[in-house]
């Protein structure tokens, strides 16, 4: 669908702002206003009246050598088409495909004949106004309203029912519970920006990702006067390479095949080797946190609501979830798993993608088994190096195929071989652990990831449009994989951490 692009004549035509994700590395921008149709320059995307086409063209020209050469060789931006391509993707973001129509001022000659007359890119806007919609998908409107009410009441108690503070909370544009969530999701956008910055300007990247032309963090200020002074909004922005014409996402219901699984694992091993380089390791350890630390900012009201709705699912999912969830969500168990991996098995933590599933993997149209890009790094966090592989296997692979591949041990063998090969190429030593240790670490990751597969059920049930012709098939697929995941995780928990099961049983016995 193509959106109508609005015009705001109050935005200055020389709006050039550099606000990359790593401030200390900001570049000096050049002004490319003269290469844009003056009438086009002030048009903007939907209600985001500061994200003008002039702003976009300037940041793109400063961030893309390819596009800058087009302009420097007579290219002139005549027209820009903006197409909304969200379609169930980018839950916290608005995604637009921008098609720039270019006219060459000196006509087509020997110098310009090899340049294109169109240049496309993806504009990703982190949209905090979508967070309430996202939370409705998680909890349902009625349950979310109860969460917001409980959160507000708790704040009132914490403030000793101070009348002035209570009135401020009541009159606030955004409910405090939603505002708390916004802080977490803004951090997620920052994660993606920082990850792309770490991966910038690598001659041979360890894994395929889109070219990134520009990133801007969310701004914390909410003062409208401040916005008028700075002429820049609070939303986060990413301008990236457009891969839509030559790639596709494997449908959720189809699942990945064995060749595709091995392709993903190979690249994850290469990434982990790159992230092990001392200078790179220093960067991600400084800029990222664990998933527990990130979600730890979330209130107990949200956690209670999440558990409450899971208890409404089928019994063969709920019963194992009760046992596993009660253990896995304990901070002591999270700490135990980390120490077990590092001290007993010699496998340290690494930076993970955190949200690896069908929608975040692009495959080439002309070769569906060849990976074109890993996308959406918002949940990039520090954790178990088997996090992404276990999530991939549970969320995107049919249970029977997953179990067969796991039984054969191919995935861990491939991972370890590729990891060691890349470490040696980088002049580093091979890892000291082997397949046996890695298997234990993978098992522990399965326990953690199985919980997430169950939590996703209500989210997808509300987030998938009911008029989607594949709605029933998708939900059946998600529930089948979640049921298989949580029951397999219970068996693994009995094998890997029986002492925690015994502790929990003893506690329940005392309570009874």
- Per residue, what are the HEC states of 415-482? HHHHHHHHHHHCCCCCCCCCHHHHHHHHHHHHHHHHHHHHHHHHHHHHHCCCCCCCHHHHHHHHHHHH
- The pLDDT, as a whole number, for residue 22 is 39
Mean pLDDT, rounded, of the chain: 86
User: Edge-to-edge, what's the strand order for the sheet holding 361-364?
Assistant: 247-248, 361-364, 367-374
Report whether pLDDT(347) > 90.
yes
Lowest-pLDDT choice from 51-65, 172-186, 253-267, 380-394: 172-186
Q: Which value, to the nearest 10 degrees, does the dihedral of the CA atoms of residues 290, 292, 294, 298 take?
A: 180
Lowest-pLDDT choice from 5-9, 51-55, 256-260, 308-312: 5-9
- The pLDDT, as a whole number, for residue 416 is 99
- Kindly state the percentage of the chain with pLDDT values over 90: 62
- The pLDDT, as a whole number, for residue 6 is 40
- The pLDDT, as a whole number, for residue 349 is 98
Report whether pLDDT(94) > 50.
yes
Report whether pLDDT(453) > 50.
yes
- The pLDDT, as a whole number, for residue 12 is 31
Mean pLDDT of 396-402: 98
- The pLDDT, as a whole number, for residue 221 is 54
Mean pLDDT of 135-162: 77
The band of 112, judged by pLDDT with boundaries at 50, 70 and 90, is: confident
The band of 254, judged by pLDDT with boundaries at 50, 70 and 90, is: very high
φ, ψ at 51 (rounded to 5°): -90, 75
- The pLDDT, as a whole number, for residue 398 is 98
The whole-angstrom distance between residue 211's C-alpha and the CA centroid of its chain comes to 16
Residue 218 tokens, joined: 């969310």
Half-sphere exposure of residue 470, counting CA atoms within 13 Å on the CB side?
9
- The pLDDT, as a whole number, for residue 17 is 30
The band of 175, judged by pLDDT with boundaries at 50, 70 and 90, is: confident
Mean pLDDT of 426-438: 98
Domains along the chain with CATH numbers: 6-129 (no CATH), 246-511 (3.90.1200)
Mean pLDDT of 116-122: 96
Report whether pLDDT(421) > 70.
yes
Mean pLDDT of 457-470: 82
Partners of 118 in beta bridges: 101
Residue 259 tokens, joined: 């060749």
Mean pLDDT of 331-356: 97
Lowest-pLDDT choice from 168-182, 228-242, 368-382, 387-401: 168-182
Report whether pLDDT(226) > 60.
no
- The pLDDT, as a whole number, for residue 136 is 81
Residue 120 tokens, joined: 């496309």
Residue 231 tokens, joined: 């002429």
CA-based nearest residue to 126, from 193, 202, 39, 30: 193
Q: Name, of 174-188, 212-226, 243-257, the range with top average pLDDT.
A: 243-257
- The pLDDT, as a whole number, for residue 414 is 98
Q: How far apart are CA 466 and CA 478, in angstroms?
A: 15
Mean pLDDT of 3-19: 34
* Count of helix runs (H) and strand runs (E) in the chain: 20, 13
- The pLDDT, as a whole number, for residue 468 is 81
The band of 89, judged by pLDDT with boundaries at 50, 70 and 90, is: low
Comparison of pLDDT for 107 and 83, the residue scoring more: 83
- The pLDDT, as a whole number, for residue 450 is 97
Report whether pLDDT(231) > 90.
no
The band of 170, judged by pLDDT with boundaries at 50, 70 and 90, is: low
- The pLDDT, as a whole number, for residue 469 is 85
Comparison of pLDDT for 211 and 151, the residue scoring more: 211
Q: Name, of 172-176, 220-224, 306-310, 354-358, the range with top average pLDDT.
A: 354-358
Q: How far apart are CA 325 and CA 333, in angstroms?
A: 11
Mean pLDDT of 31-54: 91
| Burial tier of 186 (Cβ tally within 10 Å: 0-12, 13-18, 19+) | buried
Report whether pLDDT(457) > 90.
yes
φ, ψ at 194 (rounded to 5°): -65, -40
Report whether pLDDT(426) > 60.
yes
């Amino acid at each position: 669908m193509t959106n109508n692009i609005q015009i705001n004549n109050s935005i200055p035509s020389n709006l050039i702002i550099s606000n990359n994700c790593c401030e200390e590395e900001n570049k000096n921008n050049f002004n490319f206003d003269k290469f844009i149709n003056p009438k086009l320059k002030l048009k903007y995307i939907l209600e985001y009246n500061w994200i003008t086409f002039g702003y976009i063209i300037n940041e793109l020209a400063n961030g893309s050598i390819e596009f800058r050469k087009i302009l420097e060789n007579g290219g002139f931006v005549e027209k820009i088409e903006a197409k909304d391509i969200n379609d169930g993707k980018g839950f916290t973001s608005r995604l637009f495909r921008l098609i720039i129509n270019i006219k060459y001022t000196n006509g087509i000659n020997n110098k310009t004949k090899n340049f294109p007359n169109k240049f496309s890119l993806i504009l990703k806007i982190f949209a905090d106004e979508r967070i309430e919609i996202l939370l409705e998908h998680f909890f349902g409107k009625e349950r979310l309203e109860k969460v917001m009410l409980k959160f507000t009441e708790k704040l009132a108690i914490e403030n000793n029912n101070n009348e002035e503070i209570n009135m401020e909370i009541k009159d606030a544009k955004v409910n405090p519970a939603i505002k708390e969530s916004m802080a977490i999701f803004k951090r997620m956008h920052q994660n993606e920006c920082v990850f792309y910055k770490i991966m910038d300007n690598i001659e041979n990247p360890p894994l395929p990702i889109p070219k990134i032309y520009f990133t801007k963090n969310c701004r914390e200020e909410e003062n409208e006067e401040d916005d008028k002074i700075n002429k820049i909004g609070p939303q986060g922005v990413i301008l990236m390479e457009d891969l839509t014409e030559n790639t596709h996402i494997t449908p959720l219901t189809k699942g990945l095949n064995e060749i595709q699984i091995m392709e993903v694992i190979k690249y994850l091993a290469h990434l982990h080797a790159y992230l092990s380089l001392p200078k790179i390791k220093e960067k991600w350890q400084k800029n990222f946190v664990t998933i527990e630390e990130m979600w730890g900012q979330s209130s107990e009201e949200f956690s209670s609501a999440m558990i409450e709705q899971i208890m409404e699912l089928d019994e063969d999912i709920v019963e194992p979830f009760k046992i596993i969830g009660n253990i896995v969500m304990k901070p002591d168990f999270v700490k135990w798993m980390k120490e077990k991996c590092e001290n007993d098995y010699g496998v340290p933590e690494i930076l993970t993608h955190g949200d690896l599933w069908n929608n975040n993997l692009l495959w080439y149209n002309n070769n569906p088994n060849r990976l074109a890009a890993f996308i959406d790094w918002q949940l990039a966090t520090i954790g178990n190096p088997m996090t992404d592989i276990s999530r991939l296997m549970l969320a995107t692979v049919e249970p029977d195929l997953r179990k067969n591949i796991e039984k054969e041990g191919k995935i861990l063998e491939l991972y370890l071989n590729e990891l060691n090969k890349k470490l040696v190429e980088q002049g580093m030593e091979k890892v000291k652990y082997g397949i046996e240790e890695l298997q234990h670490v993978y098992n522990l990751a399965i326990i953690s990831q199985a919980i997430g597969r169950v939590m996703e059920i209500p989210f997808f049930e509300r987030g998938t449009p009911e008029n989607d012709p594949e709605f029933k098939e998708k939900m059946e697929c998600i529930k089948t994989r979640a049921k298989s995941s949580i029951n397999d995780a219970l068996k693994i928990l009995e094998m890997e951490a029986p002492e925690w099961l015994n502790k929990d049983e003893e506690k329940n016995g005392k309570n009874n």
